[in-house]
Structure 1
């Protein structure tokens, strides 16, 4: 057999397109199709129901075997409103009703301090429900803690030392009781729900209330213990601080006496410090005055160096002498102007006025020089005063330096004594408050709703479990149905045939049962008796499809084959020939399956003595081997005996001549051949026919087998019209092919007379 390698894939794809098959779109198959899912459920509904019913029965039996358990719940509220008999802060702060604090309180309730108190109070260690080592009934399936004796070995537990055995039992009891507790903090309402689950409803309520009481008592004891420890610590600390305070105050007085600081105070300072402060203020003022005068003197010197008129300076302008001289100078200018209008420039009066003006200018210059000298003298006086103050300040600073060093030490000693005194007074006040608080402790939590004996079991939730079991049962059934569907390797619809095989599908041949076939007549007898049946219509449609495939030269020699034996190719070939004969065509059926001939038997003809092999061997003429079926008018060339070289016989020149002769004598030549995969006879024979019909048995032929057989036709370029689904159960096939022609079989079945 020829198996196509990877290098031949393009040729195969091209050949498939040549046969008219649409290329398969992988993305289309990836989309979830609800109709396909519904079709799967319809096809395998009984499998789904059986699996669901079986699993549901098992689940129901298990649920009813579960021992009912009851949950009782006590509600504890965290009360932040405390009774304040005395307005003082508590040693142990109040609880804050936030989520973190409530979660912490929930862990306290689960702790060994609270749970152990309940175990001891109610003697739960001697209860077989909580002590698995005392349970003589053996481990329970749904109680993992009851398997503890099995894990440690019941025999080993008996030989443990008493202390170790007691410890193991105590741990087992604590784990069991804690596992039955359910603590639910509720930050929105500042409360905690304490639930306990037990098969005994009264015991559940009793233990839930006992846990709540133990939690409240644990809170009180914690506050009493904290207050008692605080009082003892404060009392011891006060004795130590009293001694420290006495020593600090004594050190301050001794230092004052030794350093002659009895009149000094930490607020006012010493006399030297006060004098030093006053001299500092005077020095700052003197330095500011010196700086102002130096600036004024430097401005006057700058005007002189730059050649400007010093008379415009502010000191000169403000001088009364300069002002009088300027008035005289203005008067002389006015007189000179009057005289100049009457006399010439060399007149004695004019010369006299000019001489007076020169004298006034010299006087103004002399006065300006005296003003500049006065400013310089003021600068010298201010500088001398600054130097004097600096000298006095240096001497006073040296005298105050010693006092300051001693005073710094005095301040440190006084601060230490004051801090010790403040701390001592604070501790003394807190000690008195704590002592008075010991008898005024109240818990932060209180029980607002005691647990009542439950009437309805909390576990198992029968309805919920049954609903979940029902859903899971159906889910398991659907999963099995889907798994079987995915494992199904057969072909069910024409669309699936085209998609999987890449070749056009030409039609569907319905299955004819033994009841319709009429016993030994077979399907071809049913075709004769029911010409308007769906079985007859299928072959008419198939013949029409072949005719329309090539209108100018419709195929006259048609080969019927399949991938494997038993796929209905012989029945289809005989029925196709009878259908053609009923349509008025001269038809002959040639049985070319030299290994397993069946055409004569299918037509109900007697066993032949000569046949195709004898004719090709020139031992009998065509008329001698030809048989005639009276009921249908179909001629038949049977096979009477086999041969040792069937492939060579079918590829002989005599076979070619026979095909040509039959083609001239008949309108339709139907050739029944062997399957493709077991032998190579069909591939040899396919070269002598016009086209080939490939039969695929519905719900039987493996996809891989059909694909491999078709690959042989494609590799050798043999004529192939398409595939035909044979022996299709139309009532069941509707469940597969939404959109397929057979899906609407019920709608047009009225057109057929079955």
Structure 2
């Protein structure tokens, strides 16, 4: 056993918390940030350049083969200029909507040129149903090319199960679909439609909004046929425009003929209606009759005014007499009012008799006969006056009645005249309407008749085509497709881009860490270094912890010293207690612990390794010593510390094995005795390394990490999953551990140099001549 009397705490020893981050929140991975490094991108492309080269080479070669095997196609072009239409049959747009052309409607004529109807006439004109280019039965047999010998379609079809093909077809393999029977005429019609479709596939018409020129091009593997098809399409289009104008002129003539007949009938009907209306009016001069009726109406209005005046005057006199007669002295009052000579004479006689009677009364008294005679005479006179008043009153009543009758008669005559005038006005309105209708129908009839005569006398010279060919198509000398150089260039560029995409896809799918900068970029934790994989005949048979001693000048030994130096410099004061852990088993944390401890011991430091993995202990196996008593027994209190510390004979390193398989290792590691052990080893050694179980497997490492000066996280090159590593580091940081950095273990230095530009791997590869073994 080892005597611990020399284990004294070094002077000035101080634990400092500065170093890497103690929280995962600030790392790029936690923030979800994408870090772009142009140098890294270029380095990645250079490292995987063979993938890009292979992809570009294969796709470019395939493109070259495809271009060489492609059927050459020739394009022949004819040019037409479309003139304004000169149809003059009729100016009514609804009659001749035959396609007046201008620069802004050239696209319409382009669509006409590419229509199935026009294509069908070309097919019939050139008898394309019997042409080898469109009838496979007439095509000459050609030897198959290299690509045609490869039955890719059959190969792909063989990969698809039968039930999938049945589902895509919509029928089951068990169902028998009987072929439909067609007549020869129907088959010929269907084949003609297929030929039209194939012919239109080679037609292209280009129209410009700034001119009336149409460019007709046709694509065909036969240059002569390409020119023939373009010219035929142009010529048939020109002929169609002439036929269309003749047809439009014929339609206009028929329409005009029909309109002339209808308008003639309409004019005759309106004229007959006008004459019938005139006959109903008795051919009377409307203006003269209107003047007579107006004069009569004016005179009757004057007579009516007079009759009303006479009737009013008679009515006033009659009403006055009636009123006077009803009074007490009505007769005398009425007699006074009435202007009658007889009444005046009677009144004078009455006045004379009254005067005589007054004189007699002054002379005679009583019933003198002369008084009685005078009284009787006075009475007779008054009786005569009364009778005369009554006669005049009756006469006034008769006059009033006559005046009323005259007034009523005059009013009746006026109403008759008014009705006659109104009837005459209505007849005049009807007459004017009929006259206007006759005039309008006559004007339309004359206009249509004149246009009909003009159309009828147009000669054939005016029926010219609205399009003319300004450039006929000629057979091209060189094929327009395939453009081999362009195809190869596009294939090369596309394949290069595809190769670059494939490179970054592979990089993205790669789950492990390949370089130290990558570790820091993803986790935010600084890398401490790498442990190279032992290569070569001299190193391959050695274990890592032995290579440190037997090959002290090797690349591996120098890498271990570099890691130990990085740990020492991770804080202002060199850490004494360091925890070594990883994400999963097999990442090399035990080898890293032993290598660092042996390297420190050889350098003269007091170093010790404690195997804290009591479930799967490995330190004793790596050092080829028995695991009799160790950490478990000490934590259980059955042995003392001096009894479990052992010394490595080759390096002088101290170590403590895990001991027996304790039933409760987590509780033991979390005990007060373990905390005291960490403090004692930190005080007694320059470097105490604690080899713990993986972080993701169990929580033993998290229990110990908070008591350590520093923690080192080991990840295996290209093997440790990035997500697993980031989760493990996050767990350490969240447990308030002080993580010094990450060690990338078992690195293939040659491959790593392609990833670690400017890093440790790049340095080791560059300066390999300085190392032995």
Which category describes the TM-score, using the shorter chain as reference length?
A: 0.5 to 0.7
| Map of 1:457 onto structure 2 | 479
Q: CA deviation at 1:222?
A: 1.2
Q: Which structure 2 residue ranges, 5 or more long, are not aligned? A: 1-16, 154-168, 170-176, 302-410
Partners of 1:749 and 1:79 lie apart in 2 by 83
**1:74–1:536 distance in 2 versus 1, CA, 3 Å:** same
Give the match for residue 433 of structure 2.
412
Partner of 1:23: 26
Q: Which residue of 1 aligns with 2:81?
A: 77
Query: Out of 627, 636, 649, which is 2:648 matched to?
Result: 627
Contact 1:95 1:444 in 2 (8 A): no
State the partner residue of 1:111: 115
Residue matched to 1:572? 592
Q: In the aligned structure 2, how far is the partner of 1:142 from the partner of 1:185?
A: 40
5 Å-filtered alignment, 1:225-264, equals 225-246=247-268, 248-249=270-271, 252-253=274-275, 255-256=277-278, 259=281, 261=283
1:450 is displaced (CA, Å) by 1.0
1:50 partnered with 2:57:
no
Q: Distance in 1 between the 2:271 and 2:612 partners?
A: 134
What is the aligned partner in structure 2 of residue 560 from structure 1?
Answer: 580
Asked if 1:122 is matched to 2:126, the reply is yes
Paired with 2:77 and 2:491, the residues of 1 have a C-alpha distance of 28
Deviations 1:453-487 (A, max 9, x none): 12333333434433333333233323322222222
Counterpart of 2:230 (choices 191, 198, 208) is 208
Question: Post-superposition shift, 1:250?
Answer: 5.4
Gap change, CA 1:634 and 1:519, over 3 Å in 2: farther
**1:602-650 CA-partner distances (Å, limit 9, x unpaired):** 6xx7x44676559968699869953311xxx4335486x9744486598
Secondary structure (helix, strand or coil) at the match of 1:443 reads coil
**CA distance 1:261–1:571, shift in 2 (3 Å):** same
Cα deviation, residue 227, structure 1? 1.5
Q: Which residue does 2:453 correspond to in 1?
A: 432
**What SS does the aligned partner of 1:514 have?**
coil
Preserved CA contact (<8 Å) 1:518 1:525: no
What is the rounded CA distance, in whole Å, between the counterparts of 2:713 and 2:115 in structure 1?
79
Partner of 2:712: 693
Tell me, yes or no, if structure 1 residue 585 matches structure 2 residue 605. yes
Deviation at 1:175?
Answer: 1.6
Aligned residue among 532, 550, 554 for 1:511: 532
Could you tell me how far 1:538 is from its partner in structure 2?
4.9
Residue pairs, 1:387-406, within 5 angstroms: 400-406=421-427
State whether residues 611 and 637 of structure 1, in contact with CA within 8 Å, keep that contact through their aligned partners in structure 2: no
How far did 1:29 drift?
Answer: 1.3
Residue number in structure 2 paired with 1:174:
196
CA distance in 1, matches of 2:22, 2:81: 83
CA distance in 2, matches of 1:28, 1:638: 42
1:213 deviates by 0.7
CA distance in 1, matches of 2:545, 2:199: 81
CA 1:574 to 1:206, structure 2 compared with 1: closer, same or farther past 3 Å?
A: same
Q: Which has the larger radius of gyration?
A: 2
Question: Aligned-pair distance for 1:168?
Answer: 1.4
Describe the SS at the equivalent of 1:479.
Answer: helix
| CA deviation vs aligned residue, 1:145-168 (integer Å, no higher than 9, x gap) | xxxxxx9xxx98895222221221
CA-to-partner distance for each residue in 1:580-605, whole Å, 9 max, x for gaps?
A: 23443133445566677766786xx7
Report the 3-state secondary structure (helix = DSSP H, G, I; strand = E; otherwise coil) of the residue aligned with 1:696: strand
The 1:715–1:417 alpha-carbon spacing in structure 2 relative to 1, beyond 3 Å, is: closer
Give the TM-score taking structure 2 as reference length. Answer: 0.65
1:609/1:111 CA distance change after superposition, 3 Å: closer
User: Structure 1, residues 331-381: CA drift from partner, whole Å, max 9, x if none?
Assistant: xxxxxxxxxxxxxxxxxxxxxxxxxxxxxxxxxxxxxxxxxxxxxxxxxxx
Q: Relative to 1, partners in 2 of residues 1:576 and 1:93: Cα closer, same or farther, differing over 3 Å?
A: same
Deviation per residue, 1:75-99 (Å, 9 max, x gap): 1111127599x99999847854446
Moved more, 188-197 or 661-670: 661-670
Q: Which residue of 1 aligns with 2:378?
A: none
Q: Which residue of 2 aligns with 1:704?
A: 723
Which residue pairs with 1:442 in the alignment? 464
1:725 is aligned to 744
Please say if residues 586 and 667 of structure 1, whose CA atoms lie closer than 8 Å, have aligned partners that are also in contact.
Answer: yes
For the structure 1 residues 619 and 557, does the alpha-carbon distance in structure 2 shift closer, same or farther, using more than 3 Å as the test?
closer
Q: State the distance in 2 between where 1:463 and 1:448 align.
A: 33
Quote the offset at 1:549 in angstroms: 5.0
Q: Distance in 1 between matches of 2:614 and 2:240?
A: 100
What residue is the counterpart of 1:295 in the other structure? Answer: none
Question: How much does 1:190 deviate?
Answer: 1.1
| Residues 491-528 of structure 1, C-alpha deviations (whole Å, 9 max, x = no match) | 345555356446x4351125254239644455567656
Q: CA offsets per residue over residues 521-559 of structure 1, 9 Å max, x none?
A: 55567656887877556545544444455556x433434
Q: Does structure 1 conserve the Cα–Cα contact (< 8 Å) formed by 2:598 and 2:653?
A: no
Structure 1's unaligned 5+ residue stretches are: 1-13, 144-150, 284-389
Distance 1:80 1:471, change over 3 A: same
**Structure-2 change in CA distance of 1:465 and 1:391 (3 Å):** farther
Query: Which residue of structure 1 lines up, in the alignment, with residue 365 of structure 2?
Result: none
| Contact kept? 2:614, 2:661, Cα under 8 Å | no
d(CA) in 2 for partners of 1:44 and 1:106? 52
Rounded Cα–Cα distance in structure 2 between residues aligned with 1:521 and 1:665: 31
- State the 1:224 CA deviation: 1.0
* Secondary structure at 2:653 match in 1: strand
Bigger mean CA offset, 718-727 vs 645-654: 645-654
User: CA separation of 1:663/1:747 partners in 2, compared to 1, >3 Å: closer, same or farther?
Assistant: closer
Deviation at 1:39, TM superposition (A): 4.5
Q: 1:19-67 CA distances to partner (integer Å, 9 max, x unpaired)? A: 3666135667147654554444344332233233333333443343332
- Following superposition, the deviation at residue 121 of structure 1 comes to 1.2
Once the two structures are TM-superposed, the CA of residue 571 in structure 1 deviates from its matched residue by: 3.4
Write the distance in 2 (CA, Å) between the matches of 1:661 and 1:520. Answer: 37
Distance 1:675 1:250 in 2: 119
Instruction: Report the Cα distance in structure 2 between the residues aligned to 1:272 and 1:655, rounded to whole angstroms.
Output: 140
CA root-mean-square deviation = 5.1
Distance in 2 (CA, whole Å) between partners of 1:705 and 1:249 is 107
Q: How many positions carry a matched residue from both structures?
A: 608
Render the CA deviation track for 1:231-279: whole Å, top value 9, x for unaligned: 2343344345445545544554565465354766xxxx447359969x9
CA–CA separation in structure 2 for the residues paired with 1:479 and 1:670: 45
CA contact (8 A) 2:610 2:689 kept: yes
Cα distance in 1 for partners of 2:102, 2:549 equals: 91
Cα distance between partner residues in 1 of 2:567 and 2:645: 31
1:668 pairs, out of 687, 699, 709, with 687
**2: CA distance between counterparts of 1:731 and 1:447?**
73
Whether contact under 8 Å (1:276, 1:393) holds in the other structure is no
Aligned equivalent of 2:392: none
In 2 relative to 1, CA 87–404 (structure 1 residues): closer, same or farther, beyond 3 Å?
Answer: closer
Maintained 8 Å contact 1:647/1:684: no
- CA distance in structure 1 between the aligned counterparts of 2:266 and 2:87, rounded to whole angstroms: 38
Q: Are 1:77 and 1:445, in contact at CA under 8 Å, matched by a contact in 2?
A: yes
Maintained 8 Å contact 1:611/1:638: no
Contact 2:78–2:231 (Cα < 8 Å) also in 1: yes
SS at match of 1:466: helix
